[in-house]
Structure 1
Amino acid sequence: MIKTLDSVSNHEHRQIIEKTGYKVETLRIWKTGILKHSISNPSNEQLETFAMNVDAVLEKSNLHIDSKNEIRANCTSHFLNERRRTSKQGKETKENIKVVNNIKKKIRDNNLTVVKADKGSCMVILDRNLYINKVEEFMNENGFVKLDNNPTSRLINKVKNFRVSKEFEDKFGKYKNLIPSNPKIPKLYGLPKLHMDNIPIRPIVSLINTPVYKISKFLSDKLKDLTEFKPTYSIKNSGQLAESLKNLQIRRVLN
């Protein structure tokens, strides 16, 4: 069984918040993540073609007959082992797909939603209505106002009709490359803060594929290049952190 809201303070690497039961096999699939790869099992026709190609190469070689037979035997053994391995993996994949489909059905039937937690790389499953209420609560508490009309079309037209100089395009490329082909409005979603009382959300606004997404990214990169901006109090990734701390000397202070 999975953890509930009452025990969320003791969450593990994968934390689930709701009261629907899950079997051990289902939880195992959750931990493996989404199935991304399909496994190819060589057909008889492929094996026959490969065998003919090997024979053609061997016949043209000056190898002794025993060496040729050994190569043929090794190739046959390798392909048979590969077929057994992929056949076994194919069965496991089919079983995993069944479990994944069962998970999707259970989420759909119980009106749940899946989101990432704010900290700890946890995955959270919670009631969809509860999630929506938490997002709306945040919006109401922070002065969000509902617009009478959608300004996206007007913004898209302004972006498309903007004109740049020939010098700009000669140096940076065509301006139309900075305009998304099918722009959308920004999306607001929330990451549950499992470590806090009442589990509030941390709001995230996704600007991917919005009318000004490519332009904003372009300007940000160019301004960094022009100003040679280097953040003093932040790091790029864990590798940069390790490199920065490698030669750090820490003095021990005795009382």
Structure 2
Amino acid sequence: MNLFKDLRENYGRNAVKDLRLLENTERKISRFRCHRVFSLRAKHSGLIPTSLKLNCPINTKRARDIVNKAEKALLNERIRVVTNKIKTLEEDKIRANASLNARDINKDLSREISRHVENSRESEFQHVRARQTRKLKELAKKHEKSTSNDVNKSNSHADLDLSGTQLKRWVKNLSKYKLSDAQNSVLARGLGYAVSPDNLNQPSIVDEHIVACEKACWKLTKPEAAQLRAEIVGTLKSAKLPPSNINKDERIAIKQLQKEESIMVLGADKGRATVVMDKTEYQEKMDALLSDPKTYEKLDRDPTAKHKRELVSILQRLEKEDKIKKTDKQFLYPTSENVPRIYGSPKIHKDGTPLRPIVDFTGSIGYNVAKSLADILSPIVGQSEHHVLNSKSLAEDLKDIVLTEDEILNSHDVVALLPAPPSISLSMCSVID
């Protein structure tokens, strides 16, 4: 028996439309009920679905608590919205049933319609339930793994197992210099590890607070700036020495590494590993990079002063034309003339450990201009159809592509992508020793 054919021949096309509407409504009800069960189980298990995860832009406990609270509120809102959607669909179902019943369909055909709708509903329910069950299990595994990682991170760095295989993973010694156990241990913590000071009266610590305070005061009124300075002075005077987060041998090891002139301690290009290289090898590789005439050009003299005058002239013109405010001009005005420095980041994942050239513009005449341009351009970054966010995004885009026998997927390794388009003057960069 062909249900839709018989219904069309005996009761017209509108009857078929009513049946399709009823069938689709039942399928939607099944889907949303599964969604609601999934959300309720996630809530009771303390899980947050991936689609409701929020990125925490501030790395503090208070910020993370705020984000967690917001995620739970979003999950509750989703449950409320899905529940209301089910109620609406139930009303649609009643209307669709009423429309079919009004056509006075015979009992045999009515039983066939009921059987067909029930089969469609059950099929959709089983399919969606299996998918949601799988998603819930994967979500629970990710949560368990994340919780385990958080516990590991919360442990003291002094308790880290920095021996054997794990130590070799975090410290890559490519030099002839033999590292002591204490030096290996402190390097394994990473170059970004903040070592607690052993003396709060160090000029570097005091100067850092003074510079940060004056930068903040620049945007305040005179009374507010004076109050901030007074509070900073009071904080510095009452500050107490924090407990040491490294042992005595590691503190000595840091001083030894700082005094050792035959090696370079660098961060790996990828990952958190710390790389130790011979200084001569590092300089040879940097010289080889800078000697490439296709990428770099050597100038006869330092053009910093000339570029500064040109930048100041442009800023003055833009201010006169009311295209920038006075505060913008003050921020963009070059107050320092540091020559940008170039250094190499070792690629330990490649044969021969080549260096990735990185130019540090901090303190240069164009540093603040570059920061402002980055803020202006950031909203349009990633809007191009050719933009790839990361390797995971690329894999997602390629997973549905099927190659035929006469097709190949080709990838290219781009060398010197960033420094190649513009010519970077050697006199504008000083190699970091």
Do the two structures share a fold, i.e. TM-score over 0.5? yes
Aligned position for 1:28: 185
Aligned position for 1:71: none
Aligned position for 1:126: 277
Letter in 2 for 1:103: L
TM-score by length of 1: 0.59
The structure richer in helix per residue is 2
Letter in 2 for 1:168: K
2:302 matches 1:150: yes
Q: 1:39 & 1:113 partners in 2: Cα distance? A: 25
Aligned position for 2:353: 199
Identical positions, percent: 22
Q: What is the Cα deviation at residue 228 of structure 1?
A: 8.0
Q: How does 1:139-218 map to 2 (within 5 A)?
A: 139-143=290-294, 144-162=296-314, 163-166=317-320, 167-170=322-325, 173-218=327-372
Q: What is the Cα deviation at residue 18 of structure 1?
A: 0.9
* Residue-by-residue CA offset, 1:101-144 (whole Å, 9 max, x unaligned): 12223x22xx2111222222221111111111101112223433
RMSD over equivalenced CA pairs, Å: 3.5
8 Å contact from structure 2 (residues 318, 324) kept in 1: yes
Q: 2:327 & 2:197 partners in 1: Cα distance? A: 39
* Residue-by-residue CA offset, 1:38-92 (whole Å, 9 max, x unaligned): 379xxxxxxxxxxxxxxxxxxxxxxxxxxxxxxxxxxxxxxxxxxxxx99x5596
Report which of the two structures shows the higher radius of gyration computed on alpha carbons: 2
Q: What is the Cα deviation at residue 156 of structure 1?
A: 1.0
Letter in 2 for 1:124: V
- In 2 relative to 1, CA 183–132 (structure 1 residues): closer, same or farther, beyond 3 Å? same
8 Å contact from structure 2 (residues 195, 245) kept in 1: no
2:269 matches 1:96: no
Aligned position for 1:113: 264
2:171 matches 1:19: no
Q: What is the Cα deviation at residue 197 of structure 1?
A: 2.5
- In 2 relative to 1, CA 231–208 (structure 1 residues): closer, same or farther, beyond 3 Å? farther
8 Å contact from structure 2 (residues 285, 355) kept in 1: yes
Letter in 1 for 2:177: T
Q: What is the Cα deviation at residue 15 of structure 1?
A: 1.2
* Residue-by-residue CA offset, 1:174-212 (whole Å, 9 max, x unaligned): 312112321322222111222222222111122222212
Q: Which of 207-216 and 151-160 deviates more?
A: 207-216
TM-score by length of 2: 0.37
Q: What is the Cα deviation at residue 216 of structure 1?
A: 2.5
The runs of at least 4 consecutive aligned structure 1 residues that moved more than 6 Å come to: none
Q: How does 1:47-126 map to 2 (within 5 A)?
A: 89=243, 93-105=247-259, 107-108=260-261, 111-126=262-277
What SS does the aligned partner of 2:356 have?
strand
Q: 1:125 & 1:98 partners in 2: Cα distance? A: 18
8 Å contact from structure 2 (residues 308, 334) kept in 1: no
Q: What is the Cα deviation at residue 14 of structure 1?
A: 2.2
